[in-house]
Amino acid sequence: MKVKLDIVTGFLGSGKSVFINNIIAETITNDEKVVVIQLEDGETKIRKDFINVKTFMYDDEICKLDSFINNTIEESNCTRIIIEYNGTESFEELQYTLSIHNTRKKYKINDIYFIADANVIESYILNMGDFIIPALESSNLILINNCFDKKEDKINEIISLIKKINLNGHILKCENNEDIGNTIMKSNLFSKKRIKRLYMNIRGERN
């Protein structure tokens, strides 16, 4: 059985590490071994009190990430991998690296999450679309963070812009980093025993 690989992407400071900490806390089971591979070193760290969770920093070329993942699977015997990916890097390059020679891989892409900062996501889409749009298009779930000081009309404007790029991805909104965990729990998209399948993704229903 191939290892499930999740990707959490978005720009530095958007709340990716906080999101990862919360989905691990909400979904990990006793029989799981989780590896988090971080491709950036942000302010928030992955919690060290998790049992059966290992964290690695990866600072080599993206084209070599596939080999690193396969070696990590062999050495750690993990059942699940979460990649934290910087939104300023090419998402298409990451997709290509993870998809080539797919039949020989020990893992498969499971779900893709995009963490957006409500303060800057619109300007980033308009000015850095080459980086953001491929990631948004591929995401199963988009979390709009830092909505605490935004009027409802502004949030709806952001949601409308995102839906023009990804009509089928599920969209959540939260006040700030401290609200991410509560937002995840209230969404009912995740259960304590295992991650529920997100059937709303743009690639259609998965097995």
What is the layout of strands, in order, in the sheet containing 80-86?
53-57, 34-38, 80-86, 3-10, 107-117, 141-145, 170-173
Per-block average pLDDT, block size 10, for the chain (207 residues)? Answer: 93 93 91 94 87 94 92 94 93 91 77 96 92 94 97 97 96 97 90 46 43
**Cα–Cα distance for residue pair 178/204, rounded to 1 Å:** 32
Determine the pLDDT at residue 104: 63
The predicted-structure confidence for 48-101, as pLDDT tens digits, reads as follows: 999 999 999 999 999 999 999 999 999 999 999 999 999 888 999 999 999 886
**Cα–Cα distance for residue pair 59/9, rounded to 1 Å:** 16
Determine the pLDDT at residue 191: 64
pTM summary value:
0.89
Determine the pLDDT at residue 206: 43
Determine the pLDDT at residue 87: 85
Determine the pLDDT at residue 201: 42
Cβ neighbours for 166, distance < 8 A, ≥ 6 positions apart: 136, 137, 139, 142, 202
Looking at domain 3-187, what is its CATH homologous superfamily? Answer: P-loop containing nucleotide triphosphate hydrolases (3.40.50.300)
Helix H or strand E encompassing 201: none
The dihedrals phi and psi of 118, each to the nearest 5 degrees, come to: -60, -20
Determine the pLDDT at residue 143: 98
Cβ neighbours for 68, distance < 8 A, ≥ 6 positions apart: 37, 58, 60
Helices and strands, counts by H and E, the chain? 7, 7
Give domain limits for the chain. Answer: 3-187
Determine the pLDDT at residue 203: 43
